[in-house]
Amino acid sequence: MSDSRVPRRRRYLVCEPRHFAVQYAINPWMQPDVRVDVDLAQEQWQALISAYRTHGHAVDTVEPAPGLPDMVFAANSAVVVDGRVFGSLFHAPERRPESTHYDMWFKTAGFDVHRPEAVCEGEGDLVWTGRYMLAGTGFRTTREAHREVQEFFGHPVISLTLVDPRFYHLDTALFVLDDSADGNNVSYYPEAFSPGSREVLARLYPDAVLATLDDALAFGLNSVSDGRHVFIAPQAESLAASLADRGYVPVPVDLSEFRKAGGGIKCCTQEIRS
């Protein structure tokens, strides 16, 4: 069945973890007294970039800035659809300067960047499905930002409420498996969402791949799919098996060092959809 899954070449924007550290606590995963192994983080990050390139994807890099330890989490910087860039306005003051560096990269690369008026954390809470935007709220990105995103892109935005602080961004609780018009599907952890949001997801995605709590805690839902290959945390064994049963090809990439800051594969990956 896996032969029927067709990958699509992607373009990703990433940021080297040269200054990665846990210097403050803005989510339940962050403990500033826990030391980060910077060398191991570099090795893990390089393995992710190598995996992307090995599978035919293009990777661009933005220069990391000193004093911004979370800049490695490129997904939070923006969401890009049809070559249009909706930037970020971080909830935490510590992260707000990151936006300037990412905006500059996009502008230098020839993109216009929309600066949000409401708090919005890019692909952390905005998940493009190929048909519409799934938008998380509850901990970071506001509902006002959801309305702003819909006005900017002109695509329907479906608001989903997150209720578990461990899954503070939508991309820790859900990821898109296929974003093609004829095969759109997702994987998610139901209990990360409010009852009404669970109903919405069940109606939209009756065939979704559901994850367990253990999968979610292993950051298995902070994955990246190209439509066939799923770059996934190796600790999410049950989810990887479920994906393989559906014809996807799990590509394990261990980013466990980044979990100390509440991040994983998707957090480190911004997709540029031109």
Q: What is the pLDDT at residue 167?
A: 98
Mean pLDDT computed over 105-118: 98
Q: What is the pLDDT at residue 182?
A: 67
- Per-residue pLDDT band for 154 (boundaries 50, 70, 90) equals very high
The DSSP output letter for 35 is P
The catalytic residues are 169, 267
Q: What is this structure's pTM?
A: 0.96
| Ramachandran category for residue 23: left, alpha or beta (phi over 0 → left; psi -120 to 50 → alpha) | alpha
Whether 184 is in a domain gets the answer yes
Domain range enclosing 224? 8-271
Count the domains in the chain.
1
Whether 233 is in a domain gets the answer yes
* pLDDT > 90 fraction of the chain, expressed in percent and rounded: 91
Whether 115 is in a domain gets the answer yes
What does the longest C-alpha to C-alpha distance in the chain come to? Answer: 48
pLDDT tens digits, 9-47: 999 999 999 999 888 877 777 888 788 899 999 999 999
Whether 132 is in a domain gets the answer yes
Residue 208: which CATH number? 3.75.10.10
Number of helices followed by number of strands (H, E) in the chain: 6, 15
Whether 1 is in a domain gets the answer no
Distance CA 252, CA 230 (A): 8
Instruction: Give the sheet arrangement for strand 229-232, strand by strand.
Output: 224-225, 229-232, 249-252
Mean pLDDT lowest among 3-12, 53-62, 67-76, 152-161 = 3-12
Position 2 pLDDT exceeds 60? no
Whether 3 is in a domain gets the answer no
Whether 81 is in a domain gets the answer yes
Mean pLDDT computed over 123-135: 97
| Ramachandran category for residue 154: left, alpha or beta (phi over 0 → left; psi -120 to 50 → alpha) | left
pLDDT tens digits, 92-107: 999 999 999 999 999 9
Q: How many CB atoms lie within 10 A of CB 236?
A: 27
